[in-house]
Structure formats: C-alpha cells, structure tokens
Structure 1
C-alpha cells in the first residue's frame, strides 16, 4: 500500500497533541510608586488651598517623570519641604503678665525700660484676647439667622442678627462689628449695596458674602467690590466658622500688632540676644535666631530657585521647618552688620519680612509660594542704627540698651556671673568666696566696657587660676581679696582719671562718651608769640577740630564782652591739646570745654576743677544738646566731680535717668556760653577760695 496505506493495527498510533485550556494567570500587580504615599500625605496634611493645588500639580507631574531622572528628585524634595512647613501650626501665647515679669526679672537684672516695653505689649495683647469679637448676621430668612446665631454664640462671639442691609447699617452705626456675614439677595438694600456702604464707611470690617444663587460671576463681582470671603448655600458651617476665625485673627493682628518690630541697640555684651530668648520664654513661643553679620547675598534669606542645582529654601523657611511653628519669636541678630555694596543688599529682603502689609505673603524663591509670617514676633539687634537704610529704620521701634552702672554690674556679677562661671570650672561658692570689694575692683580696673562680656571673661580667667591653685597647692576654701586678685590677674589695665585739685588757667575738664562708657578728658590751651595759627594736637578728628575753630572764633568775636584784648590773635599762636594722644578723639561734645579753656587762657581767670562740662557750641554762643549724657554723668561721679554743666536741651533726658546715676551731682543747665563761663571760671582774686572748694569737693 505504500507509504500512504493503512497502518497495521498492532502499531500504536502517536497521539496528536491536544491543546488544553488552562486558566489565565492573574495580571501582575501595578508597582507601588514612591510618590503615592506623598500624595496621600498631601491630601491629608490640611494645606491651604493655594498650596494644596500646587502640591497636587507636582504629584501629577511626578507621574510622568522617570524616578531615576533628576527632575523626579527635585519634585520629591519640593513636596517634602511643603509637607514639613508649619502652615497651620501655631503655639498659644501665655499672656500672664505677672509670670512674664517674673521671667524677665529672673533672667536679667536692670534693663527696666526694655522690660516695661515688653510687658506693655503683652498687656495690650492680653486685653485684646479678652474682648469677644462682634459678628453682625444679615439675612432675610429668620431660621437662617437663628441657626447661625446659636452656632457663633457657642463659639464665644457677640452676635447681632438683622433682616436686611438697611438694618445692618443702623446696627453698624450703633456699634460697629468686626465681621459681617451677609446674604446677597434681600429686600430694601441687598448684599452688594451693603458691601459698598461697609467698604466706604467701615473699611476695616471683614465681610463674608453668602447666597443661594452662587455663580462664578457673582463671586468674582463680590470679591472685586471688597468681600473677604464668598460662600454658597447650603452653607458649610465648618468652612464658615473657619473663615470667621481666620478673619478675626487677621483683624486682631492688623489693629494691635502692626508695627511691633523691636530693635535692641547698644554696645556689645549688653544682653540683647538673651533678652530676646527671655521674651520667647515669657510668651511660651519657640525661639529662632538668625545672625545677619556679614550677610551679603539676599538668596541666603530668600533661597534659590529650584532650577539651580542644589537649590534649597532660604534661612527663614529652614528656621520655620526646624521650630515647627509659624509664630515663633524670630531674632534678627546683628542687623547693622549685613553687607550693602555693589554686589547686593541683603537688608532689602528685610523690608518685606518686617512690613505688616507684606509679610502675610512672604515668598521664598525655592518655594515660589506665599508663607504667612505675620504671626511671628520679630526682634532685631544692632550696635547702632546709623548704618541701616532709612526705609528699614522706619519699620523699627528702636530701644536703646544703656550702659550698666557699676552698681548694676556688681549685682549682676555677684548674683549671676560668679556662681555660673564657678560651676562651669568645677568650683562652688563654698570653696571660693569673692567679696564685694574685690568684685568692685574687678569691674573698675579690669572690665570698664559698657556691657558684661569682658567682665565674664575676667571672672573665667580668675576661676581657671583658682582651679589650678586648688589642684596643685591643695588649698581649701579661698577668699579672693583685692591683693590676691591683682596677684592672679596682674595689674589693672584701666585706671580711673581723677579730677585736678587746684584751679588752673587754660585747663578745662570735659565729659565724653566712648565705646567703653563715659570718660573725662582735659583740654589744655596755651598762647605764644606767632602768626595767627591754631595748633590742634591730641589725635583729634575732623568734627573736634571744627569745634576748636568755632571756639576760637567765638572768643575773637566776643572779646569785648569777656574783657579780652581784641587784637590778642594778631601776633599770637593758640595751641589746644587734649592729652592721651595715642587715642583718637571725635565729636562735638568738647566744644564748651575748649571754649572755657580758651577764655581762661585769654582772661587769666582759673578754671574750677570741680566742674566738668559737655555740649556743642554754635558760632553765636549757643550751647547745643549732645548725646551719651547718662554715661557722661557716670564718668563725673567716678572722677569725683560734683558740678556738671549740661545744655538746657538735655534736661528732659536727665529726668528719665536712674537716681543712682545722678545722686550727689549738682547739674547746672545752660543755654549760652556766657552762662557756662560764669559757672566754670573763677575770679582771679578768688582763686585761693576756689582752690579750697575744689579740695573739699575732692575729699
């Protein structure tokens, strides 16, 4: 049969392959994407609407980006920054005035004016917090008015409900409300007409419009005419209550906290930064410090745009992430040290941060989104405000930190510094005793600056030497007397300048301000045959040289009034010298003293050495006010000078100086040079009597 014949039955036929239908495998599970959890966090974080929309858009963008690409990492970091910011987190202020005063007094001795200003702020805020906000409900439906009244009264608001716009205007005239919640469609005067009246007559009142005919057009129209929020009916009570609370917070901040930007200014070591921490502790707020010393680039504060490689938020946003609250106490330290040059002005960003009209929407370059800084309490510190731009100074309330008096330094050293530094060096007050007499020498001889930094350093140096002595010599309890202090620290680098005892011709005493406090200086005048030269020595600055020239011109123009030969300058040279030539001297305060020295030289009348003066002299003989009076009076007391001549313009300022500073001083106020000369110059015939008076005063 060939190959195509029938096979034998005995030969088993090969089974043909049979297709077996097997159940299909389940589809592979979709891979879990890393940013899905971020999307869940975004939705549940309670972000403000604008921020939430941006975060959602960024999540959508990540869906189309390869996770291995740099763009994915940039978006991921951006979302993590958004989620880590305290958009809605704030600490509750502790407004207990008595507790705040205890905290400030426990942390700092003295500085009463600064403490009073802080307590005044807390008192105002406390009173505002006690007052219930007033809400005016305007709706022609009685049931709606009654229901909303019950809701807001339960929240602690004072509520008044009326039926139309005319009644609302009458209610506002009786007692203006903080917030008006108004229906749109009403008889007599509708919501839009009422809104126009409110914006014209009560512009600070917040307005929320509600309507059952909500459309995009009516919403846009209401917002354009000045409504603060817009809601449709049926009303979402949760959203309405939130809007009311937010608007009341904005109103409260705008009315009572605007402009509260303190700037602590004064010499180094006065405790400006530490009192900022005490304010935060008294309020119960977080504390955030930013040092602006040497800051040159604005981007350090505002951040870099995300298009740059390695971009990150600025120091403001980073600090808020760290403290975790949107209303901390933010201390901008060393504001006057920020660099302003052709490369940039870092202080320009402070204008937005510190302005209450702008800081509600502070925009960091990295985020590109507004962050509300209005809840933060800003405090600036500076050694002087002269270098600050004028627009920035206008936003600051400058509070000067005066120099500590020797008595205040003594109390601070014995109560705070010595126990603290002893503990830091392994010592205690049982092992080491420092009497008040030794502390007084330490202050006057080793730490003469206005602040406390050098005093702390000298106490630390003393403790180190005592620690070594205790270990090497096995000494027991040690009492550090004045002799031991000088043995351990060496001879005092500062010596007090004492007043002269005998009245002298051509020698006057002036009070000046220096960086370490007040000082007295002596002005010497000499006359010799010459050719009309005014010789000025003593490392004098330009302003001080001009003061000497003004003094000489006054003497020449008023020669007849003082009995001076009008031709005294024709064949003479006048030499004015201020000793301590190695120390630069500047300022107009020595003008009166230079004139007294010249008048004494030209009239032969000695100058009383128990008298010191300060003041600027005009060409017509008027004595003009100067600054640093408190420190100058302290210098007069330290030098044993009982009589001080001050310009009349300084009298009001002296009244606010502590009694400790002015005690024992005979302060004479003058307006003209003739009055000053009558006090300071002796009659030539009574020089011996003046000499005896000066010696008695010195004793």
Structure 2
C-alpha cells in the first residue's frame, strides 16, 4: 500500500512498530507537518536523521526506512514546542519526497512476512525473552515495571517481541535503525539476540571490574586504617612529622609515572622505610634512594621542535663556516624529523665531534639543543677513571650516589634532553674499572633503553636522549666505543676564517661584555695582527681571550681618560694593548739544505710544520734518534734507514755507509713529545740528503709513512696538516696517493692556493726533492774533510 504523508524527522531516536511514544516537535517545518496530519487522517511518517546535529534536514539526511504512525494527541507547550503522542503501526519504505513548505513523502507500507522456520523462530523467541530478562536485571539505568515485563514474557508474536525490545533497549540510533531495516523477521530476531548477548557480556565484564575495584578499595581502606594507626603510634612517640613526610613521598611515587616494576620496587622500599626507626643510618640510605627515584624524570618530556630549516638558521647564526659539519648534523636531524611520530626507536649512531680545542665542538651541541627546543646538559669526562662515575655506586654506604648520566637526567628533569659528553677521549682506566666500557651501554642504541645504574638498580630508558660526544683525537677512544659513534671531523680554521669569526662573533661579544659598545672598535688589520702574532692555535679560544684583553684595556683607558665617539684600535696600537708579540708569523725555510726535510705533523691543537734534520759523520754505523720521539717515529727512522741501505746504489749513497758512518736524526723542539705514523717519507728524504750530500728542497712539505719496500702509506689529519702548510706559506705539498679522497674536504680558498702531488712510492718523493748535484762529498773514514773552496 502506497501513501503520501507528512514526515517528522527524529533527531536521536527510532520508534519501531507496535510502540506508542511521545515526540517533542520544535522545528517549524515539523510543526507544520503535524498540523497537516491533524487536519487530515492523522497519519504521519517518522524517519530518523543520520546526523542529529543537522537543524534543517533534507531527504539525503534521512534514512530510507521509517515507520507509519498515528497522531493520538498533540499539545502545545508554553515554550512553543508541541508534545505529540504517536502510535506506530508498521514499517515504511520512503520512495521519494515532494517539494513544499514542510517534508512530505511517498512511502510504501511493508507488511510483516511470516517465519520460514517455525521451530527456529520459537527457539529464538525463548532465547530473546531469557536474554532480555537478564538484560533488564543487569542494566543500571533501564527500569520496566512488572506489567510491562509480564506483557513481554506473554508475547507470542515474534515481530511484536523484537520491535518492543528494540524500543525499550538503550542501543544507539544506528543499531535500532539496523533492526528496523531488517524486513526479514528471522534476521531481525537474530540481530536483536546479537545485541542483547553483546550487552550481557559487557555487563559481566563491568561486574568483574567493579568487583576488582571494590576489593582494591577494601585493601586501600585497610591500608589507610593501618597507616592511621601508625600515625597515632608515631604521634605518641613524638615522630609525627616523619610519618607525614612518608605519606608525601608515597604520593610522589604514585604521581612520578614510573614503569610498574619500578613503582612496585619503590613502594616496597617505602614499606621498609616505614618500619625503620626515623633518623637511623639505614633509614637515611633508603630515604635518599627513594628521593632519587621520584626526582629522576620518567615521562616528562620537552615539546621537541624538529625543523631542519630552523636548525640551519640557528647553526649559521652561532657558527661561521663548518659547512660540511652543519650538513651532516642537518642530515641526522632530517631523518629524525621524517620518522617523528612513528614507533621507531632512535638507533642512529651517536655523533662524535672531533677536532682541536677551541673550534666550537661544545657550542655546536648547545646550538643543536636550542634549535630543537630541548634541555642541554654538558658532562665533562676528562680524567674520569672510575666506572662508578658512569654506572653509579652500589647502595652499600651512606655516601653512595648515582652516576653522572642519572645525575644529568635529574638535573634537566625531562627524558629527552641533549647531553654533551665532553672530552670522551680523555677517559682512562685503572683498578677501579674501565669507564669507557661502561659508556658502551649508555651510547649503544640497541642497549640504552634498558640502562641500569648500580645505585638505582632498575632499568632506565635513555633511548630518547640525544647524545653528542666531543674529542680532540680518535686515537685514545677504545675501538668498541668508537664503533657506536659516527665521526664528524672539525678541522682547524684558516686565518681567513679566524678573521671572519673574530669580526662577526668574538669581538662584538667581548666589547659588549666589557661595556664598550659604541666606544671601541678594532680594525681588520689589528685583528689579523692578533691572529698572526699573539695566537698559535687551530681554534679561536686564545684569539677570543686576546680580543677580550683589548676590550678590557679599552674599558680601563676610557674610565681614566674618557673620549667622545668611537675609538679605533689599529694594527700599530695592538702591542700597547697586548704587549710584546708572542709569536713571529710561522714561515717555512725555503732554501735547499743538506740533511733537512720539511714534514707536516698533527697535534691536538691542529697541524704544524715538522722540520727533520739528519747528519752523517764517520763512525761505526750507529743510529742516534733525538727530539723526544715516540716508538712509532723511531720505527719510521729504522724503516727509512733500511730502505736506503737496500737502494744505496740507486741514490748514490756511499758504499757500505751503514758500517762506516754514524747517523744522527733530530727533530727540533726536543722538549715536545712527538709520535705518529706520518714522518716516514720525511725521514727518508732527510737521511738520503745527508748521506748523498744532495740538498733537499725546503719549499715542499710532505707527509706519509713508508714500508720497507718504499710504498707510501696513507695518514690521518690531512686537513689540519695542509692548513698548517698554507699558513706557513708553503704552496707545494706531497701526500700519499691513498689520501686523495680527503683532499675534497679542503676549504676552497686553501685548495686554490696549493699544488698537491700524490705519491705512491718514496722514489717519486726523492726524485722530486733531492737536487741533482751534491754540495760536498761525504768524508770517507780516515780521510781529511776538504776545506770550503779548496776543491773536491
């Protein structure tokens, strides 16, 4: 049967057939629809809205299945709304809507179809009645009187039973609509039973949870009662304040956000503390331990900012140059930015910034922390030789403390700080343990999420800490520890870079700190003179110190004799501020010389020239090595001497010189220890020049180790050594062929000014450096040395 009737949209309810219910009508269109129904045959369509928040629903906002109702009564309320009592008769399939001042639609009334399987129907009806009885009994807010329940139990019509239960149940609109749209009676019964069974399981679960909560509350009440008794006893004993502190400590433990295992250990320790005599040594140890547990952060974290553009701006603002270093840091942070929010543990290698003192390693770490909006903490590891400094002391005495890592975490108060481990290459080991081995667990991304401090004796997660380490050299870092790190080398600065750093960063800061802004300035020539004559370093630490002296001296002069405007300190005036120059500009000797070779060496403060001298005198074949040489350099001299013995004829050396001459190899500045695998070809050149009396070119500097076969081996510190040569005025360099790749990292202004030769064999070096004619023949044993000018 098809009907054309007004439509009332229902916001948050579904009224199924066989139900009579009040409907509150407030919308103007719905009121008009009710009035039209009252003026006709009182029939009306009731259709639920898909979204109850829509105030003016269109046909698309309504479900396609509704119900046919009869308006039994309508009453206007004082607030303008209408209270309408509707008796619902059957389901309706809405076909189409008719345009007008209110919703009006054509619908087809759907008649009930009988059950296909009567036996199954009876079974479903019995199960539904039983389930609904338990549903009413277990529901906390649903209340049906006995009359309604008796009528439901007596209902034999499956359709009436399903629709009536749907009307009374507290299901969602979507679930009730699903029952309404089930035109097949058997499917409708199954859906009603499914919803009832689901709710019964939920009621049972809530009941079990409530029972557990009640038991826990009973336990808490019991503990509360016992604690109150303890308070009363403690009050009688005069210790009420101490017990109040313990209650406060219990609250801190509950609020600290510890992992469950740690929390249980803390509560157990608190119970032990409650039984101790307050003021006893054992109570002091236990209380201090609990204070550490609650003060170390467990969940609190900074709101991290991961934006490589912001980081790039901060790094450029704080540091001049260092482009390769900045790029590597940005690559590292870019990966973190792209994996932010993913359940991926940070397993990237720990960064280690390696370079001479004063090149900005620590300040780079501080800039990284600032760009990421994280707390920054610096731990100095120089001179640490006790494993307990890292892992903490065991709680066996009153003065025990956690290690430096846990102390740092307590200090910053968050679980994701940036921690800089400074001077990691200066840790050492003794009978108290090896702190470098303890650092393995701290820095290994595979292990540090379960770091165990001996004092806390619980697992602590360090995986969200951004660790950065610094070192002057990699030689003293243990290999297993270095394996966990990614090395970023920061070479020394060129004079050009030092000038710009001083002008843009150091000098403005020192003038500002001296209170001389607008009163004092330093010329470019004066800055260059300070760099060349008052400092000798790879970094800029001493340069800043000297500029600070100029600023302070200027402040004193200003107070003694004030001046108007800004005073300029020029190059000739620098000694008046800093005194006599400490260094002369390092310039290499460039005149050819017999028995001398110009080498390049690496030192903790950068590269330096290393002049090696050799003299051959009649003797018995002894080799004397002086200049505070280490074992490696002594071995290099022995290898050079043996190579020359094997190739004496090729280089025109005296016959049987290893038996007839004593050779003395000396490296000047004997008070300075020297060692390292890079002086082999320099010693070979000096020895060959001394034995053959052929002058060696001094305008060429070299670096490289040799084998007994004369092969030139690669070395380290290429950047630093070439910077030293450039600053000393040497433009021609010999380096091992295998170091060719490292040359790409040189600053462009340095690479343009150097002529670099790559050597694979020491014979290539000797052919380049030894001039063809000897200055004076070597004196044979038993012969008189010719006097200068007397002929050969």
Give the alignment's TM-score, normalised by structure 1.
0.71
Output the CA distance in 2 between the equivalents of 1:493 and 1:522: 21
Per-residue CA deviation, residues 502-543 of structure 1 (Å, 9 max, x unaligned), is 434433322222333323243334443333333444444443
Residue aligned with 1:347, SS: helix
Partner of 2:701, secondary structure, is strand
Query: Tell me, which stretches of 5 or more residues in structure 1 are unaligned?
Result: 1-26, 134-247, 688-699
- Tell me how far apart the structure 2 counterparts of residues 28 and 328 of structure 1 sit (CA, whole Å): 42
Matching residue of 1:464: 552
Does the CA-based 8 Å contact 2:550-2:578 persist in structure 1? yes
1:528 aligns to what?
Answer: 617
Tell me the equivalent position of 1:647.
Answer: 736
Residue 441 of structure 1 aligns with which residue?
529
Q: Find out whether 1:314 has 2:525 as its counterpart.
A: no
Q: Which residues of 2 match residues 594-633 of structure 1 at below 5 A?
A: 594-633=683-722
Residues of 2 paired with 1:466 and 1:488: CA distance?
Answer: 8
How many angstroms does 1:678 deviate by? 2.0
- Aligned counterpart for 1:50 among listed residues 257, 261, 266: 261
Match of 2:359 among 270, 274, 282: 270
Aligned-partner Cα distance in 2 for 1:40–1:407: 60
CA contact (8 A) 2:641 2:687 kept: yes
- Give the distance between the partners of 2:745 and 2:633, measured in 1 at CA: 28
Contact 2:737/2:759 (8 A) holds in 1 = yes
Look up the SS of the partner of 2:340 in the other structure: helix
Change (3 A) 1:311 1:658: same
Tell me if structure 1 keeps the 8 A contact 2:630–2:674: yes
Partner of 2:222: none
Deviation string 1:26-61 (CA, Å, 9 cap, x unpaired) is x99956851334434444544322233233334444
Please tell me whether the aligned partners of residues 493 and 539 of structure 2 are also in contact (alpha carbons under 8 angstroms): yes
Count residues in correspondence.
538
Question: Could you say if the C-alpha distance between residues 506 and 363 of structure 1 is closer, same or farther in structure 2, counting changes exceeding 3 Å?
Answer: closer
Q: CA RMSD in A?
A: 2.9
Residues 620 and 95 of structure 1: CA distance in aligned 2, closer, same or farther (over 3 Å): same
Structure 1 residue 609, shift from structure 2 partner: 3.2
Structure 1 residues 496 and 583, CA, compared in 2 at 3 Å: closer, same or farther? farther
2:124: which partner in 1? none
1:90 lines up with 2:301 in the alignment: yes
User: Which residue among 606, 609, 619 is the counterpart of 1:517?
Assistant: 606
Q: Which residue of 2 aligns with 1:109?
A: 320
Q: Out of 553, 574, 585, which is 1:496 matched to? A: 585
Query: 1:634 is matched with which residue?
Result: 723
Runs of 5+ consecutive residues of structure 2 not aligned to the other structure: 1-228, 777-792
Cα-to-partner distance string for 1:127-176 (whole Å, 9 max, x where unaligned):
2237xx6xxxxxxxxxxxxxxxxxxxxxxxxxxxxxxxxxxxxxxxxxxx
Shift of 1:667: 0.7
| 1:341 partnered with 2:422 | no
Match of 2:507 among 418, 424, 428: 418
Over 3 Å counting, the alpha-carbon distance change for 1:394 and 1:504 in structure 2 is closer
1:280 aligns to 2:362 (yes or no): no
What do residues 289-313 of structure 1 show as CA deviations (whole Å, max 9, x unaligned)? 2222233433343334445224444
CA gap of 1:544–1:86, structure 2 versus 1, over 3 A, is closer
Q: Distance in 2 between matches of 1:58 and 1:44?
A: 16
Query: Within the alignment, does 1:454 sit opposite 2:665 as a pair?
Result: no
Matched with 2:23 is none
Aligned to 1:127: 338
The question of whether the paired residues in 2 share the 8 Å contact of 1:418 and 1:459 is answered with: yes
| Cα separation, 2, equivalents of 1:556 and 1:362 | 58
Secondary structure at 1:366 match in 2: coil
Q: What is the TM-score of this pair, normalised by structure 2?
A: 0.63
Secondary structure of the corresponding residue to residue 101 of structure 1: helix
Aligned CA distance change for structure 1 residues 336 and 644 (closer, same or farther; 3 Å): closer
- Could you tell me whether the CA contact under 8 Å between 2:285 and 2:398 is conserved in 1? no
What do the CA deviations read for 1:83-117 (whole angstroms, capped 9, x no partner)? 33321112232111100111111111222232222
**CA pair 435-54 structure 1, distance change in 2 beyond 3 A:** same
Shift of 1:416: 0.8
Out of 380, 385, 390, which is 2:474 matched to? 385
Contact 2:386–2:429, Cα closer than 8 Å, also in 1: no
Q: Secondary structure at the match of 1:667?
A: strand
Alignment of 1:549-568 (within 5 A): 549-568=638-657
Q: Partner residue of 1:218?
A: none
**Change in 2 beyond 3 A, CA 1:566/1:320:** same
The residue aligned with 1:576 is: 665
Distance 2:592 2:465 in 1: 60
1:111-190 equivalences under 5 Å are 111-129=322-340
- Whole-angstrom CA distance in 2 between matches of 1:79 and 1:350: 25
What is the correspondence of 1:296-315 to structure 2 with a 5 Å cutoff?
A: 296-315=385-404
How far apart are 1:336 and its partner, in Å?
Answer: 2.7
Give CA deviations for 1:295-348 in whole Å, capped at 9, x if unaligned: 343334333444522444433333222222111112222223334101332333
Q: Choose between structure 1 and 2 for higher RCO, CA contacts under 8 A separated by at least 6 residues.
A: 1
Instruction: Quickly say closer, same or farther: Cα 1:346–1:572, change in 2 above 3 A.
Output: closer
Change (3 A) 1:305 1:686: closer
Distance (Å, rounded) in 2 between the aligned partners of 1:527 and 1:77: 71
Query: 2: distance between equivalents of 1:481 and 1:384?
Result: 37
Q: Which of 672, 678, 695 is equivalent to 2:761? A: 672
Deviates more, 1:576-585 or 1:378-387: 576-585
Change (3 A) 1:474 1:364: same
Larger radius of gyration: 2
SS in 2 for 1:528: strand
* Aligned-pair CA distance for 1:439: 1.0
Is 1:298–1:349's contact at 8 Å kept on the other side of the alignment?
yes
Q: Match for residue 451 of structure 2?
A: 362
**Contact 1:643 1:666 survives alignment (8 Å):** yes
